[in-house]
Amino acid sequence: MQVWNLGRLVAPAVAMFILAFGLLILPSGAQEASGSNPTAQAVNEQQLLDELNKIQGRVSIPDGKAATLQQPQGRDYRGFHEGALPWIGGIAILGMLLLLALFYFFRGRIRTLAGESGIRILRFNAIERLAHWTTAAAFIVLAITGLNFIFGKRLLMPLIGPEAFSTWSVWAKYAHDFVAWAFMLGVLVILVAWVWDNLPDRYDANWLKTGGGMFDKSNRTHPPAARFNTGQKLIFWAVVLGGIALSATGILMLFPFSFADVNGMQMAQYVHATVGVLMIAVIIAHIYIGTLGMEGAYDAMGSGTVDLNWAKEHHSVWVAKEQAKAEPKVPPRARPEPAE
């Protein structure tokens, strides 16, 4: 009976000791009311994205970029590349081809009204033609290989198969990367050679008002123009400014993470791809007017000389200046001296 009574006294004391010890070692959060929701209090993925615009982990390899596990802007770029960009490129290029076809059937080929005179006048020298054709050839390579990045797997791969398309795409990328330097050099030379002749002048407003005479089926409207008319000036500045944009963004991608982080490189790709497809549409119009669209226009960059009548119809101000330079200087007549 004494042992039993002793047990009844000790048991409550031991239970109180265990309870007190447990409260001491438990974390403070466990001592709060049991109505709290641990899941609701935890940091979730969306909160991390809102705070950092990316989710990062830890890596032990030298490349710290590998620690970025998710980046929402990457999904945005993928949506642009796979969705909006093909539509922009298709509308710009196919739309330009359609407009040129309609213009040709409406207007026909623009011919020299007075016919050929048989007299040739130098329009572009050898250095100018070399710069033009270097830039043009480089741009054609860049356009073909660049369009492969957008439309290749949709249009070309079903025709030639995955293996051939993979091989072609690898070489297309090499060509795009290396030929880009020739294009950049050509744009720089063209800018230096022709910038002065492509500044706005007093003839531009009238040229725009009359549409350069291109919509006159009688072929009798030829607004005066200097060495480059307003339409050619617009092409020039589109090539120069577009070329600068392509060059700057292209360099960012040729040297990844050297000048910009992943967000900057994605922005460069937005600009590069959009400007590229728009420039292709512009150059298609330039090729049309320089070949099929206008009689005698190709000679300017082919042989470098054009017929005098063609030059008078399309660049009358420039012809007048060139002829004034070529006229021999007649010395003033000496005053007669009286005979002695």
DSSP string, 108-124: --B--TT---S-EEE-S
Bridge partner residues of 305 (DSSP): 122
Return the percent helix, strand and coil in the chain, to nearest 5: 70, 5, 25
Q: Please report, for residues 109, 111, 224, the alpha-carbon distance to residue 294 in angstroms, rounded to integers and kept in the order given.
A: 6, 6, 17
Domain boundaries, the chain: 122-325
Task: Tell me the pLDDT tens digit for each residue of 16-48.
Answer: 555 555 555 555 544 444 555 655 555 555 555
Can you tell me the distance from the alpha carbon of 73 to that of 54, in angstroms, rounded to the nearest whole number?
9
Mean pLDDT of the chain: 84
Any idea which architecture 122-325 has in CATH?
Up-down Bundle (1.20)
99-108, 201-210, 257-266, 314-323: range with lowest mean pLDDT: 257-266
Q: List, for residues 224-259, the tens digit of each pLDDT value.
A: 999 999 999 999 999 999 999 999 999 999 998 888
pTM: 0.77
